[in-house]
Structure 1
Amino acid sequence: MNRHQRGEYYVTREGVYRPGQGAGCRPASTWEELRRFRFSRLVPLCHDRPVPAGGTVDTALSERIALAMTPDGATDRPDSAIPAGYTYLGQFVDHDLTENKTRGSLGERVTVEQLVQGRSPALDLDSLYGLGPGHPDSARFYEPDGVRLRTGRTAGVDGLPDLDGFDLAREDTEEGGRALIPDARDDENLAVAQLHLAFVRFHNRIAGDLAARGVPRALLFEQAREKVVLHYQWVLRHDYLPRIVDPAIVEDVFTRGRQFFEVPLDPYQDLYRGGTGTGPGGGPGGGDPYASAGQGQPPTMPIEFSIAAFRIGHSMVRDAYQWNSVFNSDRRTDNPRQKAPATLPLLFSFSGTAGVLTGGRRLPSCWIPDWRRLFDLAGDGEAGPACAPPGGRVNRAKRIDTLLGRFLGQLPPASFGGCAQHVPAIERNLAYRNLVRADMVGLAGGQQAAEFMKLTPLGADQILAGHQGADLTTLDAGDRHRVVTRTPLWFYVLREAELNDGVLTGVGGRIVAEVLHRAMEGSRYSIVRRPAWQPDLRSSSGRFTMAHLVLHAFDHDPRLLNPVG
């Protein structure tokens, strides 16, 4: 989980924040400004609460809120109607938006392309493609043909054979075992690793289809990439976003444009003529000429999105999943200890970044997922009954609210670079880590964000009591006053969703929809800049969802969707 917690944040027009080494920021050097992943601030700094120049922030209130968000009974959190696979699609999207090769230590090797591009936060699947098959730093991710992405082979176990194409490609060395993918974070748990694999297979299927249609070899990779990126963005716009954000907000942003984040003065000029206008929400304080939304300018990443609004996925995580015919609660066996689902610690264990798939070890075949249990292939994907899960039961994500599961309240120290004997128990709590980091960069409170967006803020009773979420009514009077006047933005966004049946609205809905809209606009291939584009893989009903993408990736074959049987 540490890979979601950056060591540094370079905020345009402000400087470098280093959470964990005191609050406040320092000026960036010219070299650092060129190399930094460019974060921005959507909600202007409040004059009544500037970021402290040094020292540490007060963490006492963050600790009390975090403990309320991770109570012992959090395993009874309400389910949502969203299939659980979308939890990890959100994690995959997060990695696509924030992965950048220039985040290492000063002096670390960086290519000219990375230095110039800065790996802008665009929804362009650079976490899948890297710098392309023709670049020496990315060629290892591809097959020798320079078109298809590599896949790996699982290890046979318990009567199951070795199976090609059901794991990420890995370094097959005694020292290694790392996944051969551009972003190692996509191998930090088995669910996101397998989702990355589904996109690999989707690309390879598209490339094969185009080759069969006679597309010249010299054009094949780029045409396949274009088609994959556009279908991916379509899924996010028409399937993923409406599930997690109030559909009215999504429709407003994608039809009328952004109101607050990098808003161009003339959206038509900027979108179609490469202009560089800015609007009232263009950047820190509004109207920032360095944060224009012109087509020629890469997007920035608002810290309000990265540190708060898009951390909603933490509340969607289940403590365990009905993974396949081996790892589920209903497995029929004489050994009751074998009747167990795939717990979250196990999903982390069977990965290469945070788990045991190192030293040449391969994923056991019994850990290949049953995709019918993660996405509603029969319903959303309109597939036949063979693609329905056993008993019709799809794993459901937990409701987006102010509660987190038990595992996220007790992270293993190794997951964020610590050692067990040196890490206080509260620092293993992901809610605490999120809240403290927000304070360290001076993130606006929920009320301040609502005021900036001209929205009616949540009332005191809504903040403190919520609806079947974290109970803050037990805080003392002083803490209650602090919370209801300046609610931590992450908590505020989750509380908004909790009070709206688990769907982002208000501040959170607007931030997430506008940032993803801008990230699509900033991609080389963009459904925002090509509003007439339609997917050619749509079903007979005219829909294309994540379920359709998974079905296409696995050739609509139930045996490939569930090879464990």
Structure 2
Amino acid sequence: MIGTGPHGAPRVATETERRKCGRFDYFFPDAESPLYTDDTPAHLTALQKAIYDHGDPDDLNNSALPPVFTYLGQFIDHDITNQGLVDEDARRIVDIFKPDGNFDPSHRDAVTQAIFNVRTGRFDLDSLYGPKVPTGNPALDKLIGLMRFPEDRAKMWLGVPAGAEGGFPGGLPEDPAADLLRLHRLMAPPTGAPLFTPADFDALPDEVKKAFSKDQEPNLAAAVIGDPRNDENLFVAQLHMAFLRYHNTMVDALRADGVTGTEDEIFARARRQVTLHYQWLVMNVYLPAICDPVALQQVTGGGAQLYKDFLAACHYVPGKPFPMPIEFVVAAFRFGHSMVRGAYDWNDAFTRTEFKNLFDFTGNGSQLPKSESALPARWVIDWRRTAMPNSEFAIRSTRRIDTNVALPLKTMLNEPAKFDENNLAARNLKRGVRMNVPGAQPSIDALNAAYGFDLRPLTQTELTSGRTGDALQKADYTANTPIWFYVLKEAETRQAGQRLGAFGTHIVAGTIAGLILHDPQSYWNTEGSHEGRWHPVDGVRASGQLVDSLPNLFRAALLLES
């Protein structure tokens, strides 16, 4: 809700945030970056065109993972990182949206001084629950407070889709709360006085007001949630909704178990349970699904040493927000973009819905009914089609992790047109240059030297395979390759696109596991029954369900049949 300006654009920090929010820095601050010359812009244009020039039928590019893994990755990203600007002058250091097309590298010290993390860097679900109040702005505090259900503040407030009385495709859920809470419900309720008035709206901080505005008016379709980016497409919005429902069923389970206390106390206990289960799923379901198993064992078995050393290099003070590695945020963790499909088997009503439709039915989309600003019931997701493993239907899987990015990502939706930076591959490549991200091969050399690994860089033949090879060679990137591209090509050539390769795993899992292993409040450091560590068997079973898989999470939220 307060994470970004409109369309997810960076926003300027307040004085309070400058003191409280963590910084970004580099895993490998001394590693060489890929070559940048006067010809680099043209070379990168050729490379990003080759990434899309594959003519690959979407139905033939399939991994073994269900599509939910793509958007769980996006949910994770929004939970732990959100780039903000220290001041307006910082924009010129990191902004790639430049009319003159100039995106030459900034000095690394300038980059780290220009940006901060709006998030805490922890897996604490502040993207779900919102920031703690008071924020210093009474109107914003009021809006954050309205995220909790007024009739039972132990629970989170959800919306009811338009036409829910007719049921949902697939028959679930019985509880009709299957949309996000939207500003319409607060400012233009069907009955009673508005809970959030125009005067309240006008009193919001400017950057928050912009995030809730459209055409210079309050955007009544905007989702009132912890991070507005979780309503930028319908898939991640429905995943966010599922976590909110899980919180509410957790509240019911706590009370059924005889737990008593104030609504605030029950809320806090439910949040703790949801957070522990979420962290466990990230470590024990998400990472094993997308990572090279040998490299992942090196990361966890070694205590996430790469991130531990990163904390030391950043002079981390315990209790402060965790710093975030730029190689992870700007490059490696963007691998999920290649997993996006051009179409999904969404539910019984829409067995082949185009990717662009997932943007139409959001707060910034064009298809939410204006009278209610609510998601139509026929667009509620069917998790049987999108979260279940080993489906015989190709469209019920993610695309492979490779350099053949789905064609719809050539133009990002619900965002202003700014040259070719709305082309996702172009944006990733240019941002990597602008923020002076080290190259893959120098980073591999640094990993091998520091930790005694034997990571083998991709060969010339591997790097130049496929349609992107000629463009990569012309850019002179075969010996020092941009990390984002390298991670995709490593997965493509060494893992058949089914998971990350070894280097990609060390950056992605090294960061994610590092954040969890080194957080004293995480499940990893909470006493329990599994080798002394917390496990879902130690947790509260919402809806009577042990949550040790993603399908079981949706069963606990009453979104899948048991």
Establish whether residue 345 from structure 1 lines up as the match of residue 352 from structure 2: no
- Structure 1 residue 514, shift from structure 2 partner: 1.3
Establish whether residue 143 from structure 1 lines up as the match of residue 155 from structure 2: no
Establish whether residue 367 from structure 1 lines up as the match of residue 376 from structure 2: no
Alignment of 1:299-448 (within 5 A): 299-328=322-351, 341-357=352-368, 359=370, 360-376=372-388, 395-412=396-413, 414-415=414-415, 417-418=416-417, 423-424=418-419, 426-448=420-442
Matched to 2:285, the amino acid is D
Aligned to 2:521: 525
Establish whether residue 64 from structure 1 lines up as the match of residue 71 from structure 2: no
Alignment of 1:119-268 (within 5 A): 119-132=119-132, 136-144=142-150, 145-156=152-163, 160=167, 164-172=176-184, 173=187, 175=218, 176-218=220-262, 219-263=265-309
**Matched residues in 1 for 2:383 and 2:359: separation?**
18
**Matched residues in 1 for 2:75 and 2:534: separation?**
24
- Structure 1 residue 45, shift from structure 2 partner: 3.4
**Matched residues in 2 for 1:31 and 1:203: separation?**
29
- Structure 1 residue 59, shift from structure 2 partner: 1.4
SS at match of 1:69: helix
**Matched residues in 1 for 2:386 and 2:441: separation?**
36
Aligned to 2:19: 34
Q: Equivalent pairs: percent with the same residue? A: 32
Matched to 2:242, the amino acid is A
Matched to 2:62, the amino acid is D
Q: 2:57 aligns with which of 60, 75, 88?
A: 75
- Structure 1 residue 2, shift from structure 2 partner: 10
**Matched residues in 1 for 2:485 and 2:76: separation?**
21
- Structure 1 residue 186, shift from structure 2 partner: 0.5
Contact 1:291 1:300 in 2 (8 A): no
Aligned to 2:459: 459
- Structure 1 residue 124, shift from structure 2 partner: 0.8
- Structure 1 residue 132, shift from structure 2 partner: 5.0
- Structure 1 residue 358, shift from structure 2 partner: 7.5
Name the CA shift for 1:517/1:444 in 2 (closer, same or farther; >3 Å). Answer: same
Contact 1:99 1:127 in 2 (8 A): no
**Matched residues in 2 for 1:477 and 1:392: separation?**
37
Contact 2:18 2:86 in 1 (8 A): no
- Structure 1 residue 239, shift from structure 2 partner: 0.7
Name the CA shift for 1:208/1:435 in 2 (closer, same or farther; >3 Å). Answer: same
Matched to 1:371, the amino acid is W
SS at match of 2:478: helix
Gaps of 5+ in 1: 11-28, 107-115, 264-281, 329-340, 381-388, 559-565
Aligned to 2:556: 552
**Matched residues in 1 for 2:545 and 2:118: separation?**
40
Matched to 2:353, the amino acid is A
Higher relative contact order (CA 8 A, sep 6+): 2
Contact 1:344 1:407 in 2 (8 A): yes
SS at match of 2:178: strand
Name the CA shift for 1:246/1:47 in 2 (closer, same or farther; >3 Å). Answer: closer
**Matched residues in 1 for 2:330 and 2:84: separation?**
20
Name the CA shift for 1:259/1:51 in 2 (closer, same or farther; >3 Å). Answer: farther
- Structure 1 residue 34, shift from structure 2 partner: 3.1
Matched to 1:141, the amino acid is M
Name the CA shift for 1:131/1:102 in 2 (closer, same or farther; >3 Å). Answer: farther
Structural RMSD (CA): 3.7
SS at match of 2:24: strand
TM-score using structure 2 length: 0.75
SS at match of 2:338: helix
Matched to 1:149, the amino acid is M
Gaps of 5+ in 2: 90-115, 135-140, 169-173, 189-217, 449-454, 527-531
Contact 2:338 2:401 in 1 (8 A): yes
Contact 1:155 1:362 in 2 (8 A): yes
Q: How many residues align?
A: 471
Contact 1:37 1:100 in 2 (8 A): no
- Structure 1 residue 510, shift from structure 2 partner: 0.3
**Matched residues in 2 for 1:475 and 1:312: separation?**
20
Matched to 1:127, the amino acid is S
